[in-house]
Structure 1
């Protein structure tokens, strides 16, 4: 290329400004857009912004849910452990109350080997200790002869003729309750007129 061609290609500063001005007038004109189209674009931008806000909110809620779930799982584990601990404590309390009876029965068996006639008094003493241990645990014996039959606490095995209705005349197996909660029903024979 000759130097003259290069000069022709090289524009002056004024010429460049003129060319840029011409391009600006032929390019983007925000005033020329349809107002409905601009409103649609603005609405779309607002919806995109709202979508971003909702995504952030969803992320926050997922985090809160994960923490809540972890807290619940920890609570469930602690509660299960508390139940197991309470059961163990209850069994321990019952065992402590029954240990003296175990010891009395052991002594009664040893005494029976040496003198069988002496056993009756020892067994009566062990039985009395057992009833006292039950009372310490809050157990109340139900189903005694002469007591009024109560289907909430007694199980009638048979009915026999008698002078009064619904009176216990014989006890096959004593029942036990704690307050109004039945632990084991008494198995009894009931009278009917």
Structure 2
């Protein structure tokens, strides 16, 4: 029986070890469940944050598109207001029944000044290149004439050109000096 007694303690020790391991396994599983739950909650929060950021980005994109559309639609509003005063002056001149050439000339001169002021406020500048070298980016030569000026120099402007904020919107139509 001594052989059995020797086996008895070993069996009891094995049972104790298994019971301890079972407690440890249960503790580890419980900790893993807690960790898993925390990670799942963190993942859910990250998903919500991503959805929020996407929605916010879409709102910003939509607002920017609306702002661009409004800007494009009403970009000339300020200039149009300036031109209304010019039109009013022209209509008043046409309605004048005094038949005085001098009054008409004064009215047209004032209207031209109003128009020049509107152009200046809109950064619309005149291109009047008399005496300058031909610049194909700003001038369109329509003919050449013999002249005392250096060849390819503008000697006459047939139609003024215009730049809007430094960008040519209509080149000046010019006559240039021909080479001798």
**Short-chain TM bin:** 0.5 to 0.7
**Deviation per residue, 1:129-168 (Å, 9 max, x gap):** 211211122222113433333333x141424144223332
Matched, 1:156 2:156: no
Larger Rg: 1
Q: Structure 1: which 5+ residue stretches go unaligned?
A: 1-24, 33-45
Taking the aligned partners of 1:140 and 1:101, their CA distance within structure 2 comes to: 17
C-alpha change, 1:65 and 1:149, in structure 2 (3 Å) is farther
Q: How far has the Cα of 1:115 moved from its partner?
A: 2.5
**How many residue pairs are counted as aligned between the two chains?**
156
Q: How far has the Cα of 1:120 moved from its partner?
A: 5.9
**Alignment-derived partner of residue 165 in structure 1:** 151
Contact 1:157-1:188 within 8 A present in 2 as well = yes
**Alignment-derived partner of residue 95 in structure 2:** 110
Greater relative contact order, per chain length (Cα 8 Å cut-off, separation 6+)? 2
Q: Structure 2: which 5+ residue stretches go unaligned?
A: 1-10, 19-31
User: Scaled by the length of structure 1, what TM-score is found?
Assistant: 0.58
Q: How far has the Cα of 1:97 moved from its partner?
A: 1.3
